[in-house]
Each structure stands twice: as structure tokens, then as C-alpha cells.
Structure 1
Amino acid sequence: MSDTFQQQFQALREWTDSARQSGWIPAQAQQQLAQIEQQQADDLFTNSRERPLIVAFFGGTGVGKSSLLNRLAQQQIARVGVQRPTSQEVTLYLHQDFPLAQLPAELPLEETVTAYHQNDRRRLVAWLDLPDIDSIEQRHRALVEAWLPYVDWMVYVVSPDRYHDDLGWRFLQQRGQHHAWLFVINHWDQGAPQQLDDFRRRLQREGFSDPAILRTSCTVTAGEDDFPQLEATINRAIETYGLELFKRLGLQAREAELQAFAGQMRQQLSRHDLAQIQAGFLAISQQRLEQLTQEMALSAEALIRPLQSAEQQERFWRLDSAPAPIPPDPAAWQSVIWSQHNEQRFADLLLELENHAVLHQLPVRPLKRHLKRLHAEHQPLLLGPIERAATEALARPGRAGQRLLYRGFRLLSGLLPLAAAAWAGYHVVADFYAGTRGEQAFLGLDFAIHTTLLVLLAWLIPQLLQQRTKPSAAASLRRAIGQTLRQGIVAIQARFTTLYGELDEEQQALIAALDAIISERGEQPGQAPPYIQAGEPLD
């Protein structure tokens, strides 16, 4: 077998294993690749350069394959009569220079009969009698399939009443390019010329443009037929084209199968439009994540409302007091905000995304692998920043401008009453001194009332303004949690985008590796001459 073929086959097998394990192609691909034949007739012989051409008789039950082989060998090497019409073994007939000392282990050796001859004129050809492909016994098909990879030339034997069997035609469709072909209508003494024409037309429809058809009869009363040309046709082809061309023909068919398999795998990978799938994926996730954010915000209200109630009570009873303490354990926050209900909603989102991928025929296993990793990362993305944001919000509630106004009014609530009291004290002293000198009347009740009201207002107005501008820890906490959740949703959406980028990279890497394997074909053999593909019509 060609080194190039073996290298390409091995590279494709390694690629298939990797692609299957990652989930991009189904497990059946390995079985499909394994069915591509690697063996050739060279593998049967220790000296492949001097090996004979392997010519196999193939046909249905009762068409006379064994009788043809016995007539060719001029001795009874293939069983007929009682053991027929269904062969129960493989018969190999070859020159004594080619003893099969070591046959491949995969061959059914216990059911192979080997016969040798000393006719040097037939030295370059080994004849193989295959069991009937249409036998009711399944093991007969297994025998045929075991020997087929080693066949160079196939002699397809039919009879006038059996040349249209469907099983034989299906076999021709499957293996038409694997071998050189010669067609024999046996029992021709029972046939008619129109059957020959009909058989030829049917072969042409199967791709044999100019098939060589021989007419034989192995009965005692048979007249002249084309049997002498059977061996002469094959020997003439060996002399004209050499054995190497037959080897190349079988190799071409195997390489074509390998290329067809690689092309099928590439087409299977390229059919996934990840950009379109991603667009629908992000639309679904955006809607579901927004709903999840609303649910988590509502869950957070269970922590915020007690703080808000405590703030309202403190404002009513005391104008300036510290807010009620917040639960310090971050696990308590996470267990409330990320409830089992919210966890289930996120799991439902991932399941919906899987179903979306299945709908667009994207392989689920690669996607599930990435979604599994995302499922492990979603809580840190959503809940990780909440503890930090909540701590900052409680330590410095409100916005910067609000905190500045609050500090200003707090300062005024202390300075303005002192200034008003100082002003009133100055007037009390000054007016009393003026009164003792008779320059004006002493201060009366009106001054006392007005001064008291002034000091009270100088204290009350800043206090009220301070109360109005005091940052709310509950409002700051609500705002911080909302912003953090929105940022977490954006982070998850970014992970979704990255996820599809990673999927695309995996897909493109597999396609690139497959293209590299396909391109490393080396110098390919040319097409075999029409004679080898179809044969020559006889005169």
C-alpha cells in the first residue's frame, strides 16, 4: 500500500478521533473511516514486485463460477455438484512459486482452499473463487468482504436468467471503481443475443462505458464459446499495461474514498452558520437575563426594606442617628439574591440555548462543554461584585454632591444658631448699656421673643435641610445592587460572545487541519486506460 495513502489514512484517523472526542462529529464517522479498505494484493506476498495478478470470480448462486475455474485449471479444484449451488469456502488457484507462507490474520484462512499449478504460462495470474454473494448465509458475505481488498481484477459471472439480480447490481455500484472488470455470461447455450445487448446496456448505465463481455458454457454439450479468450484477455492486459497499473487502479479507488470521507467531514463542519446561531443565541439570552435581573432585584428588596424602615423610623424620632446595621455575612446576601428559583431560571436559560443550537444542527457536545464552564462562572460574575458594592454603598451612601450638601448643612446647623445667639447677646449687652445711660429704652418682651425665634430658626432650618439631604443607605444599596447586577449581565453576555468565538475557533481549527490532510496527497496516479476500467469488446 502507498506510503502516502497510509500517512493520509493515519492522519485522518487521528483527526477523526480528536473531532469525535470533542463532539464535532458523530461516533459513526470512526466506523465509516474504518470501512475504507487499506489492504491490497501486495500484502499477500512477501515479494510484492513479483506477485501475480489476483483475479476473482464473483456472481450469484448457480451461475457456474466454480465450473469456470475448474475448466480454467483443467482439474477439479473448486467443488461443484453437492456442495453447490452455494459455495462454502474461498478457493485460491496460483502458481507454485507463490506459496502463501504468511497470509494476513484478518483473512478467513480456515475457509480458504489453496491449489497450486506448475504452468508457467499462467504464472502471472492467481484465480480466486468467491462464495456466492446472494447466499442466504450471512457468513458467505463476510468471506467475500474479507477477500475483496486483495482483488485486482473482478470477473463478474452471470447467467442468462440471473444477470438482472438486484444484489449483484448493488455490488457493482459500490465497487465499480475498485477493480478492473471483465464480464462473463455463463450457460450461454441457454441464452439469446438480445440478452447480451440488454446486459451491455445495463452495464453502461452503471458507468462501464465499453464493457468486455465473454460468453461461456461449461456443459458437456457446449459448442464453441469465448472461454479461450478469458485467460488471453487478462494476460494481454498484463503484458500491455503491467501489474503496476492494476495496483494503481485499486489505490486510486481507496484514495478517492479517503478524499470523499474527508470532504464529507468538512461539509458537515462547514454547514454550521455560527454567526446566525450566535445572533439568535444573544437575543434569547438578553431577554432572559433581563428577566433574571428583575427577579434578583426583587429578591434584594428583602434585604433593603428593613434598612429603609429603620431609616424612616430614625428620621421620625431622631433627626441625626446612625442607620440600622446590615447583615455582614456575604453568604446571606447571596443566598437571598441568588435563590433556588433564580438558579433554576438560569439553568432553564442554558437549556433553552442548547435547544436553540440543536434546532440549527449545531453539535451539542462542544456547546455543552462551554456552557458547563459558564454555569460554574455565573455566580462569581453576578454575585462576586455585590459584596464589595454593598460595602462601599454603606460606607459612603449617596452621591458626592449629596454628601457635600449634607456636610454643609450639618456645619450650618451648628454655626447658624451660635451666630444668632452671638448677635442676640451683643444686642442685649449693647442695648442694656445704652439704656443705663438713658440713650434708649431697655429691651422688652418683643426682643426676647424675636431673638428666641431667630436662634430657633437658625438651628431648625439647617437641621431640616440636613435631614432632607442626608444620603439614604437603603437607596444607595438599591442603586449599587442594581448597577452591579446590570454589570454582571453585561459580563455574562460578553462570555456568551466569547463562547461562540471559541466555538468558531475550534471549528475553524478542525477544518484547517482537515484541509491540510486533504492537500497532502502528493503526486496522484493518472487515470487508468479505458481498457482497464471496462475492458475491450471481443470480435
Structure 2
Amino acid sequence: MDLNSFLPLLQESAENFERLRRWIGRLVEEGALTQSEVESLDLDPTPSADDLFDAPIRPLVVAFFGGTGVGKSTLLNRLAGEEIAQTGIERPTSREATLYLPAQGKFKLPPGLPLSKIKTVFHHNLKHEIAWIDLPDIDSIELTNRELVFLLLPYIDVLIYVVSPERYRDLAAWGVLKERSQAAAWLFVMNHWDEACEEQIEDFKGLLKTLGFNDPIVLRCDSRPDFRARKPDDFGQLEEILRDFARTRGTEQLAWKRAQRRFLQLTDQIAALTETLEKKSKGVSHLRSRWRELWKKTVEEVSPLLAGSAAISARQIAAQGLSANWNPVLWDTWTQKHLLDALDRLALEADQPAICRELAAYRDELLKEIERQVRLGLQQSLAAPGHWLQRHLARALSVLKYLLPILLSGLAGYQLVLGYFREVYLGIDFAVHSALIIGVSGLIPHLACRLLEPSLEKAAFRGILRGLRLGFAHVETEVEQRLERVRSRLAELALEGRQLTGVVGDAARRPLLLSPPQGQPASPLLDRMLAATSGKGSLEIGTRYGGEFP
């Protein structure tokens, strides 16, 4: 296969897959989604028919699929031109897969395929453009047959579904197979055409249309050994289709069709994950209001107990003073647990790994943050105790209790000197009254200053309460900020998911532009050989009616 024109698309595909891997890695690493939520996105390389051959140019891989007794091996022998596959009820291929490969091809069996269940036959007379696979009967009671078919499906280019006039309606097994291989190219052969009629062909086409084939290729074949007795059929057209498919780079087109289908599937999966991220992002806004309710209720429940603990601590500080290594003992085990339970309840209601991770990281800091705010509030309160008016009055009275006695003493001395020069005797009454007024002028401001002096215990109590309020407010704000960070990351990842949806979707809708070799046109039948829908509804109908379409 000449992949020169296909390499840019493969390179772009690899780049998109690498970008997807990084995005999914961030989803799990940052806790936006769990590992189980992203497991549906399979970015590993899918096996293909290229893995069967160790050469840049390989043959077309065609497999025969169908029920027991429909003539798969007989049709294979006719296509090969000689008896290379055993026929009959107990043929070996009923329980194993047989690969009929050109002898000149460099074949390799990929790891993971059961060697004991796969028989390889090299033949010199086979058409070199095509490698055949005779699959085991899918309708056998042997469950290993179906498992083997499913293992080989990714390595097949074209599946020839062989039916007979008696069993062409038995499509339940085919529906299961089609569900597992949406990107395969399909050809349908009504074998034993000598026993069928045209109405059965039309009926078969109608059933295939319900399964997603808008214009299925249904061919008639009469593979009886006596070629002179054969009824005119479409065997020559079957050979020409396979030959043209191999010659017109049908394998390249099929590979890109498979990539397109995988891109479309990834687009839907990425869009679903993006919607989940957007829903979680919107849910964080509700969690912020829910957190405010939880924290407000928690603070109201623990406040009475904390007020009692604050009063005890204030008395200790008033008696012993505030040391540099003082640690507030404000809460017992129940109070601590109650405060931390608010975070745990929020994490439980959120049920998001990213939020749980953020809250778990802050859980050990919650009590420490409240303690820091209590220490800060206590230091500020003790540095400036009491009300500002109380402090200013006390400062003024502390000055007056010295200033007034001095002024009054100066006035009494002035009167004494003035009386001396005037030769006036002031008497005992003057001395007693002067002493009393001087004493009272100092005593009253002193007593008032003592009364207005702030209480160290009250200041400490108010400081602790203020620190608690600040600590509670800081915890509430910090949790909201952490929730907002989670919401921002979810929104950012969702935006990147939307961008990836567009990139992968554009890649899936892009046509494959090939320059056909030697002027050969691209295969015009490929679209007819691919199913347009998943066929789930038809499968349900077939199951409902016992595995046969009505």
C-alpha cells in the first residue's frame, strides 16, 4: 500500500490522540473525573490488517462469515480456483479459523491471537492480491467460535456474509457481529442460488436496509461442483469487486473510514465527558451557598461552648499575663470534630474528587487558622484595651491627677506670699482648706482614672471573641475560594473538551483525498459496503422474534 498521501492524515490523527491523552490525564490528575468515568475513552492503537504482514504492500484480507451449512468453504474454493478448503459438516474450520495466504507474502501472527485456534495455509495458486480467512461458524453451540471471530474482526478488510435461501432470515448472530465491527466493509452472498428466487433477494435487501445498509451489495452464487449445471449468477461480479477493491486502494480508504468512525465515536464520548464537566462546574456554585449554610449552622452550634472557653482563657491571661508561647485552649474533642464535620459533610455532598482533594488539603489547616486569628485578635485587643473614648478619658485624668494638685498648690503658695507682703495673717483655716482642696484635686482624677482603666480580663475576652469571628469568616472565605478554584479548573477543562470535540469532529468529517495510482479511480463501492447506523434497533427486533427477522 502506498501511504504517501495518507501520512499527513495519520500524523494529524496521532497529534489529536496525543492531545486527547494529555487532556484525559489532566482530568484524572486534577480530580475532575474519576478513572472509571474516562475508561470509555479508548485511545490505544487499534489492530488492523496491516499487523498481519511485515511489508509496506500487503494483500487484501477477505473473510467468509456465516452460519453452518451455507457453503462458505465451497464459495472459497470457487474463488480460489481449486479445492483448498475442506467442505462438509465436520470440516476443520467449523471450530477454528483458517488463513489461506499467498506464499510470497511476509506473514506474521500478532500477539494475543490463539495459535491453537488459527490454522495458516500458504498456497502458490491463490490470487496474490487477496488473503482469505475462513471463519468458524458463528451459530455454533461452541462459545469459543464467537470469541475467535471477535478477536479476528479488526484484522479483516472485507467480510463476505454468506447465507442460503433457507437461512437468510436468521440474522441474530450477524446483528451481534455487526454491532462489534461497524467499520468493516461487507458483501452479501446468497449461496445455493439454484434453490432461491428473486423475491428472496429483495426480501434479504429489505432486511439489510433496516440494519443500516442503504444500498447493500447482494450477489447470487451457485457453487455446485458441476459448473455445467450451475444457474447463471453474480460470481464474476464478486470476483471483479474484490479485484477492483484491492487494485483501487480500497484498503487505504477503508482505513480512513475506520479512523473517521473512531473519531466520530470519540467525538460523542468527549462531548459526553465535557457535558459532565459542565454540570459539575455548575454544581460547584450550588455548593458554595450550601457551604455557607453548613458553616453558619456549625458556628451557631459551637459558639456557646467557645464563649465559655474564651472566658476561662481570659481569666488565665489576666492572672498570669500573655506569654509568647501561649496557645489558646478553646475547644474540646467534640468542638473540633463538629467544626471538621462541616468540611466532611460538604465533601460528601459534593462527591467530586477535585473538591474532596481541596477540602482534605485544608482540613488540617482549619483549626490552625482559627487559632492564628484568635492570637492576632488577642494581641490587638491587649495592645489597645477598652473603648477609644475610655482610653482618652483615662489618659486625660492621669494627667489631671498630677496637674490639678500642682496648680492648686501654686495658687495657695501665691496667696501665702501675697499675705506675707501685705502683713495679713491667713490663719489655720486657710492652711486646712488649702490642704483639703489640693488633696481632693488629686484624689478625684486618680479615682476616676482607676474606674476608667480597661479590664485586662475583659480586653482578653473581647480579643478572643473577635479572633474567633475573624477565624470563622476566614475559614468560610477560604473554602469558597477553593471551591471557586475547582469551578474554574472544571470550566477550563470543559472548554478544552469543547475544542477537542470540534477538532476531532472536523477530522472525522474530512474526506480522504488520494491520488489513485496509474489513473485508477478510488473504489466507488465502499460506501455501499459500510453500514450507516449501528443497527441496535434491528438487533432488538431479531432477539424479540427468537433470532429471526419477521
Distance 1:11 1:231 in 2: 47
In structure 1, the gaps of 5 or more residues are: 312-322, 359-363
Identify which range, 26-35 or 281-290, moves more after superposition.
Answer: 26-35
- Which of 152, 158, 161 does residue 163 from structure 2 map onto? 158
Query: What is the Cα deviation at residue 275 of structure 1?
Result: 5.6
State whether residues 284 and 484 of structure 2, in contact with CA within 8 Å, keep that contact through their aligned partners in structure 1: no
Query: What is the Cα deviation at residue 106 of structure 1?
Result: 3.0
Pair 37,138 (structure 1): closer, same or farther in 2 beyond 3 Å? farther
Query: What is the Cα deviation at residue 433 of structure 1?
Result: 9.8
Q: Residue in 1 aligned with 2:379? A: 391
State whether residues 19 and 25 of structure 1, in contact with CA within 8 Å, keep that contact through their aligned partners in structure 2: yes
- Which of 515, 529, 534 does residue 528 from structure 2 map onto? 534
Q: Residue in 2 aligned with 1:287? A: 293
Distance 1:25 1:212 in 2: 45
Q: Residue in 1 aligned with 2:71? A: 64
Could you give the per-residue CA deviations for residues 193-219 of structure 1, whole angstroms, max 9, x where no partner exists? Answer: 444323211211222111111234556
Q: Residue in 2 aligned with 1:301? A: 307
Query: What is the Cα deviation at residue 399 of structure 1?
Result: 4.4
AA matched with 1:305 = A
Query: What is the Cα deviation at residue 457 of structure 1?
Result: 4.4
State whether residues 24 and 269 of structure 1, in contact with CA within 8 Å, keep that contact through their aligned partners in structure 2: no
Q: Map 1:104-503 onto structure 2 (within 5 A).
A: 104-119=110-125, 122-159=127-164, 160-176=166-182, 178-188=183-193, 191=196, 193-216=198-221, 224-225=230-231, 229-230=234-235, 232-236=237-241, 238-239=243-244, 242-271=247-276, 272-273=278-279, 276-294=282-300, 297-306=303-312, 323-326=318-321, 328=323, 332-333=327-328, 336-358=329-351, 364-417=352-405, 419-420=407-408, 454=437, 457-503=440-486
Pair 356,341 (structure 1): closer, same or farther in 2 beyond 3 Å? same
- Which of 75, 89, 99 does residue 81 from structure 1 map onto? 89
Identify which range, 291-300 or 163-172, moves more after superposition.
Answer: 291-300
Q: Residue in 2 aligned with 1:27? A: 35
Pair 328,309 (structure 1): closer, same or farther in 2 beyond 3 Å? closer
Distance 2:269 2:279 in 1: 17
SS in structure 2 at match of 1:337 = coil
Query: What is the Cα deviation at residue 149 of structure 1?
Result: 1.5
Distance 2:232 2:19 in 1: 47
Q: Residue in 1 aligned with 2:518? A: none
SS in structure 1 at match of 2:216 = coil
Pair 282,422 (structure 1): closer, same or farther in 2 beyond 3 Å? same
Query: What is the Cα deviation at residue 153 of structure 1?
Result: 1.0
Q: Residue in 2 aligned with 1:361? A: none
Could you give the per-residue CA deviations for residues 23-66 of structure 1, whole angstroms, max 9, x where no partner exists? Answer: 334434665444876222223223332x2211111123443323
Distance 2:362 2:313 in 1: 34
Pair 307,220 (structure 1): closer, same or farther in 2 beyond 3 Å? closer
Query: What is the Cα deviation at residue 11 of structure 1?
Result: 4.5
Percent of matched pairs sharing the same residue: 27
Identify which range, 23-32 or 146-155, moves more after superposition.
Answer: 23-32
SS in structure 2 at match of 1:169 = helix
State whether residues 280 and 490 of structure 2, in contact with CA within 8 Å, keep that contact through their aligned partners in structure 1: no
Query: What is the Cα deviation at residue 295 of structure 1?
Result: 5.5
Could you give the per-residue CA deviations for residues 78-99 of structure 1, whole angstroms, max 9, x where no partner exists? Answer: 4532257x82211122333225
Do residues 525 (structure 1) and 530 (structure 2) align? no
Distance 1:294 1:465 in 2: 39
- Which of 39, 42, 46 does residue 50 from structure 2 map onto? 42
State whether residues 71 and 191 of structure 2, in contact with CA within 8 Å, keep that contact through their aligned partners in structure 1: yes
Q: Residue in 2 aligned with 1:317? A: none
State whether residues 219 and 235 of structure 2, in contact with CA within 8 Å, keep that contact through their aligned partners in structure 1: yes
Do residues 12 (structure 1) and 7 (structure 2) align? no
Query: What is the Cα deviation at residue 155 of structure 1?
Result: 0.7
Q: Residue in 1 aligned with 2:103? A: 96
Pair 296,431 (structure 1): closer, same or farther in 2 beyond 3 Å? farther
Pair 226,156 (structure 1): closer, same or farther in 2 beyond 3 Å? farther
Distance 1:462 1:218 in 2: 129
Pair 420,45 (structure 1): closer, same or farther in 2 beyond 3 Å? same
Could you give the per-residue CA deviations for residues 144-202 of structure 1, whole angstroms, max 9, x where no partner exists? Answer: 222211211111123333534323123224434x1221112334555554443232112
SS in structure 1 at match of 2:137 = coil
Query: What is the Cα deviation at residue 373 of structure 1?
Result: 1.6
SS in structure 2 at match of 1:525 = coil
Distance 2:344 2:495 in 1: 30
Distance 1:226 1:350 in 2: 80
AA matched with 2:319 = A
State whether residues 57 and 154 of structure 1, in contact with CA within 8 Å, keep that contact through their aligned partners in structure 2: yes
Which has the higher relative contact order, 1 or 2, with Cα contacts under 8 A spaced 6 or more apart?
A: 2
Aligned pairs, number? 507
SS in structure 1 at match of 2:249 = helix
